[in-house]
Amino acid sequence: MATAIVSAKAGVSQAILLAAKPPATAAKSIKGSKLVDAMHRSLYPHLYQQGGGSAPNRKIRQQMGTMKRYKQVEAEREARKVSWFRNKMRTSSSSKLAAQPQKPRAIRRTCHDPVAAVTSSQLAVHDPTGARTRLFDRANPECARVGDILLVRQRTGEPFAGVCINIRRRGVDTAILLRGQLTRVGIEMWYKVYSPLVEGIEVVQRAQRKARRARLTYMRKEKHDRGSVENVVRVYLRQKAALGSSDGTKKKGAAAAAAMAGGGKRKGNVKGKKGKKR
Amino acid sequence: MPPMPPLNWGLLPPSFLMPSSTRSLLPLIPLSAAPSHTTVRTIKSVNTPRPDRFAHHPKKPALNSTSRAALARKALTTPLRTGLLAQKRGMTAVFDPETGRRTACTVLQLDRNEVVAHKTRDKNGYWAVQVGAGHKSIDNTTKPMLGHFAVAGVEPKRWVMEFKVKGKEGLGVGVGEHVGASWFSVGQWVDVKGISRGMGFEGGMKRHGFSGQPASHGQSLMHRGMGSAGGSQGSGSRVLPGKRMAGNMGNESVTVKNLKVLQVDEANGIVVVNGCVPGPKNQIIKVQDAMSKPWPAGPMKLADISPAALAESTEAAATPA
């Protein structure tokens, strides 16, 4: 081995020194340079992968730039780290692993949106039929919109009716803001749509045309104030009473009444859950 | 200075100091007897030595500066069992079907809570359970922490925190064991601790609720400043330590005490507590039994919350009723 290295070194020096010299003297160096090539090839095989020529492939050498080489070394190091950890875990805590059959799963895979899970569990209790969800669902063309006159029947106390000037959609926390009048004084009431205190929500009158605002706060100004909706509600309740008391007749009658009323389409039979006053 | 030799006044001076006429008398003078007391004279303290403050004597009252006394002082406010790490996932509301009462609540989610280590009185000086949660890739974990996790038999954890417990019985959950949301029970009280939202450098009005200054009446270029920071000469001409001023607001540890657990969902890792919880969404939160309420009779170890144990407890609760 020692002799091989010595001769290889000699070959390198000769090859460098005699590269430009005539072949008469170069003949001796050929043997040495071959040995150098062989050793270089065995030391750095990745440089000779393509082409198979005796000279190292310059292209490959360029590809294996500093960054790539660094990344490769890093990857190897990480792999060693992972295997070291697995091995250490196996050796140092084998008894506990045996006692623990399965590793816990990432909870985000099981339940990505826990707030939605809590909301759905609440809706299952407070809106089992989904009627109220549909009433305020934007995808429903029959849904209640701002500008409609809504009537909220409550568990205790008198029902309250007013123009809906704001719908705050927040899952189970969804709320509506109704503006009406009591004793000639303008009143605004927030009702939580899914509250158990709200027995039902009914659409008394649809808006004449779709509101071009999300919140009709301009109705607080005297110029735009609808004032009392008492008369509209009285007519609605009278018609509803005339159309029958049982559920089946009511539903049929509601459609007929809507046709008769011409403009105002009424949505009856909406079971409200509850509302909370603010 | 060496102690002086005793002076014996009964003896005569040395003979060479005596006149020659009396030298013959020397043997005639009898030697005095040895003195009956110690005759070493030196400097002595008049104060009695004070005892060492730290050398405890059984007859004296117990010291309160020891670790034992510190643990005893905190015994009443240290929970009996460990807490868990949860992520704040958002707020919503729940309704009580009977009363119709609405309660604002925060949804917390537990993610792969596992016990990483136990801290013991003998080894660490206190009792605590080290809990890890979440997941961290091995590549991003340092080798020392990897060794720590490997010994516990758990995957690397993103968050590792300690929950102090009162005594050895608080270490009911073994190292490497997985604890889920049913560790807490509906209706119990918990304290939550987390890092509040960082507001950055804020002025006195937002940070401390100062009133600011007038908008008009000749006010010039100073509307939200804090105003005076104190008096001048006579009051000391200095700013008192602790004076509230503008500065960094938020991003500090905040504890909210006595939140009621409204819902628990083991499968989805959900714990719903009433009210609000510090920090933004996905903030890691420490949840532990409330220290100012009676300790819950909750599970102390995993066997208590296994399905069989839960069924037994519900049966036991149902039969007397």
Contact A93 B100 (CB under 8 A): no
Degrees to nearest 5, angle at CA A192 with A190 and A196:
130
| Minimum distance, in Å, between the CA of residue A111 and any CA atom of chain B | 5
ipTM of the complex: 0.74
The more confidently predicted of residues A191 and B39 is A191
Mean pLDDT of chain B: 88
The answer, for A155 touching chain B at a CB cutoff of 8 Å, is yes
What percent of chain B has pLDDT above 90?
67
pLDDT at site A8: 43
What's the N-to-C CA distance of chain A in angstroms? 94
Average pLDDT score over residue span B82-105: 96
> What pLDDT score was predicted for residue A19?
42
CB-CB contact of A145 with A211 (8 Å): yes
Distance from CA of A214 to the nearest CA of B (A): 22
Residues 6+ apart with CB under 8 A from A92: B150, B151, B153
Q: What is the mean pLDDT of residues A202-210?
A: 93
If one compares B36 and B284, the residue with the highest pLDDT of the two is: B284
The closest of B231, B226, B221 to B207, measured between CA atoms, is B226
Instruction: For residue B269, give the nearest of A92, A97, A107 by CB distance.
Output: A107
**Structure confidence by residue, pLDDT tens digits, B3-15:** 776 666 666 667 7
Question: How many whole angstroms separate alpha carbon A72 and alpha carbon A62?
Answer: 15
Q: For residues A197 and B117, is the Cβ–Cβ distance under 8 A?
A: no
Residue found by looking up tokens 């995993």 in the block: B302
Mean pLDDT, chain A, integer: 77
Give ∠ CA A35-A38-A42 in degrees, rounded to 5: 140
Mean pLDDT on A258-269: 39
Q: Chain A closest CA to B61's CA: distance in Å?
A: 46
Q: Do A228 and A179 touch, CB atoms closer than 8 A? A: no
pLDDT score of A60 more than 70: no
Mean pLDDT over residues B208-224, rounded?
A: 94
Rg (CA), chain B: 37
Residues 77-106 of chain A with CB under 8 A from chain B are: 78, 81-82, 84-85, 88-89, 92-93, 96-97, 99-100, 103-106
β-bridge mates for residue A186, sequence order: A181
